[in-house]
Amino acid sequence: MAQINPSILSADFARLAEEARAVEGADWLHVDVMDNHFVPNLTLGVPVVEALARATETPIDCHLMIEEPDRWAPRYVEAGAGSVTFHVEAAAAPVRLAREIRAKGARASMALKPATPIEPYEDLLPELDMLLIMTVEPGFGGQAFLDIMLPKIRRTRELISKHGLELWLQVDGGVSAETIERCADAGADVFVAGSAVYGTDDPAAAVRMLRHQADEATASAGWACAH
Ligand SMILES: O=C(CO)[C@@H](O)[C@H](O)COP(=O)(O)O
């Protein structure tokens, strides 16, 4: 079944605990950490992730858009994140970092910005639990989905199949009722959605609707999710 991870970046930051609970039933709560260096925006850090982990039963999927992830990612596992994503463009030693995240008890995930190809990282895939393909330039919610990322999603799904991996394939940016089916058809199985969930009157219903759309598209495409 497709996983839907609402992005807290599109929530009301003055009511974070309430907004986190508004999407219980989602698979993971996606938490965007931005440092104003790796991306031109500043959001939240370790203490807020700790507070969110206490506030909701939904596991935390932490996306680090920061410099020096080798130094910081382990702190987010300690803060309670069940999955930690670092950007390969920022990591000094991605294999060592993925192993450290796993050793500390979280799922290890690596993200690629739109201009970063997957092919140089084929040999790293067995070290990961999830690969995140950004479908917008990281930094802000509410941007338009980049259709030109669909071939990269498709090629990544082929690599996952070729190596027989159970790696999850996440997409993030501009995912909505209008775009989720194309992502699922191309091979994504984990979908981050910010404005398409928190921009509605009923975030929990939006999660269910997106999941249904993704599942239908995956079934027609004929490949099976690893979860
Ligand atoms: O990482 C990011 C942005 O850099 C995302 O997680 C956004 O928060 C997604 O928001 P929408 O594009 O779905 O509104």
Give me the interface pTM, i.e. the ipTM.
0.98
Closest CA to 59 of 30, 86, 87, 79: 30
128 dihedral zone (left: phi>0; alpha: psi -120 to 50; beta):
beta
Q: What is the C-alpha to C-alpha distance for residues 68 and 52, in angstroms, rounded to an integer?
A: 23
Ligand 1 centroid from CA 121, angstroms: 24
Ligand 1 centroid from CA 218, angstroms: 22
pTM for the model stands at 0.97
Q: Rounded mean pLDDT of 173-177?
A: 98
Q: Where are the domains of the chain?
A: 3-221
> How long, in residues, is the chain?
227
Q: At the top level of CATH, which class does the domain 3-221 belong to? A: alpha beta
Residue 77 near residue 104, CB atoms below 8 Å:
yes
Q: What is the model's pLDDT at position 110? A: 99
Ligand 1 touching residue 41 (CB < 6 A): no
Q: Indicate if the pLDDT at residue 222 is higher than 90.
A: no
Q: Rounded mean pLDDT of 152-161?
A: 97
Catalytic residue among 27, 32, 35, 61: 32
Judge whether 172 counts as a catalytic residue: yes
Q: Rounded mean pLDDT of 81-92?
A: 98
Q: What is the mean pLDDT of the chain?
A: 97
Catalytic residue among 129, 172, 185, 189: 172
pLDDT digits (tens, 9 = 90+) for 6-63: 999 999 999 999 999 999 999 999 999 999 999 999 999 999 999 999 999 999 999 9
Which amino acid, one-letter code, is at 158? E
Q: How confident is the model at residue 133 (pLDDT cuts 50, 70, 90)?
A: very high
Residue 94 near residue 88, CB atoms below 8 Å:
yes
Q: What is the model's pLDDT at position 184? A: 98
Q: How confident is the model at residue 165 (pLDDT cuts 50, 70, 90)?
A: very high
Q: Rounded mean pLDDT of 51-76?
A: 98
Is 172 flagged in the annotation as binding? Answer: yes
Instruction: Determine the residue of 195, 197, 198, 210 to mutate for testing ligand 1's pocket, defined as the one with the most ligand atoms within 8 A of the Cβ atom.
Output: 195
Q: Indicate if the pLDDT at residue 217 is higher than 90.
A: yes
Ligand 1 touching residue 10 (CB < 6 A): yes
Q: How confident is the model at residue 226 (pLDDT cuts 50, 70, 90)?
A: low
